Amino acid sequence: MDMDNMQVKILKALAHPTRLKIVKKLLKGTLCVCELNEDIDFSQSNLSQHLKILREANILIQEKDGLRVNYSIKSEEVTQLIFIVEKIVEKEIKNLTKQMGGE
Amino acid sequence: MDMDNMQVKILKALAHPTRLKIVKKLLKGTLCVCELNEDIDFSQSNLSQHLKILREANILIQEKDGLRVNYSIKSEEVTQLIFIVEKIVEKEIKNLTKQMGGE
DNA sequence: TTAGTATATTAGAATATTGTAATATACTTA
DNA sequence: TAAGTATATTACAATATTCTAATATACTAA
C-alpha cells in the first residue's frame, strides 16, 4: 500500500462517530474492551469490529491480559490529530456565532 | 449538528483518495477548477462533486472570478492536519522497515 | 441574442460500509 | 475435563457512497 492510501486508511478509520468516540475515550489512557463497552449503545460484536478497523489503521494497539483485551492509542500524533480536528470545529462554531451576531 | 458530527464530517471529507489529493494540491496555494482538473483521471462532474463535499465540510473555500471558480484551503489547521497524518504514516513505515531489518 | 466555455447538479447503477445475530475463539476456574 | 467469561469473526440485509452520463447553470464574447 502506498503512503496516500495509508493516510486515507487512517482518516477513514477516524471518520465514524462510534470510532471517534472510542478514540476520544482512550485519550485519557488505556481501557479494556469491557470498559469501552460500558456506556456505549451498540452491540459487543459491533464494538469489536470497530476496534479491528482502528487496529488495522495503526491507530490503536491491543494488549491481551488474560480474559481481557486492553486498547490504547498508538502514537502521540493521533492525539494531536484529534485535537486539531476539534480546533477546526471550534473555530467554525466561533465564526458562525460571529456571523449571526453581525446580522 | 453537534461538534462530534462536525468533526466526523471533516474527517470523512478528507478520507477519500481523490479528495485528499485535491487538498494536497491546494497546500501550495489557490487553484481554479480547471487547474485541479488537469492531471486528474476522473470526470469534471466527479471533481465538482468532491469539491462540494470539501466545501460543505468547511475545508475549502470557493471564490468565483468570471467563468472560473477558485478554491483554497480555509484554515491553517487543515494544513496542520494533513501534515500530522503524513507524519503518522512516515512513522509507521519507519517501524515496518525497522522490524524487517531486525528479523 | 446566440454560441461557447467553465463549473455544478441530477439520476441511477455499481460498490462499499454498517449493524445485528449467530457462532467461534481464547482464556480461566472449578 | 467442563462450564463460564471476554472478545473476535462471519454472514448478510440495510444503508450510504461512489462514479458516469446527461443536463443545467452562469458567465463571456461575438
pLDDT at B102: 58
Say if residue A27's pLDDT is above 80: yes
The arithmetic mean of pLDDT across residues B33-56, rounded, is 92
| pLDDT (tens digit per residue) in B66-88 | 999 999 999 999 999 999 999 99
Mean pLDDT, chain B, whole residue set: 94
Residues of B in contact with A12 (CB under 8 A): 15
Domains of chain A and any CATH numbers? 3-75 (1.10.10.10)
Provide, in whole angstroms, the distance separating residue A16's CA from nucleotide D15's C1': 15
8-state DSSP, B47? H
- Out of B7, B16, B75, whose CB is closest to A86? B7
| Predicted pLDDT at B103 | 54
Distance CA A73, CA A61 (A): 6
Q: Which residue is nearest to nucleotide D25 (CA to C1')?
A: B67
Q: Is B23 exposed, middle or buried (CB count within 10 Å of its CB: 0-12, 13-18, 19+)?
A: buried
**pLDDT for res A62:** 98
The pLDDT confidence band at residue B50, using thresholds 50, 70 and 90, is very high
- Percentage of chain A exceeding pLDDT 70: 97
What would the mean pLDDT of B37-64 be, rounded to a whole number?
93
Q: Which of residues 13-52 of B touch strand D (CB under 7 A)?
A: 16, 18, 42-43, 45-46, 49-50
Which residue in A58, A80, A85 is closest to B7 by CB distance?
Answer: A85
Residue A34 in grid coordinates: 469491557
Asked whether residue A50, judged by its CB, lies under 7 Å from any atom of the DNA or RNA strand C, the reply is yes
pLDDT, position B39: 73
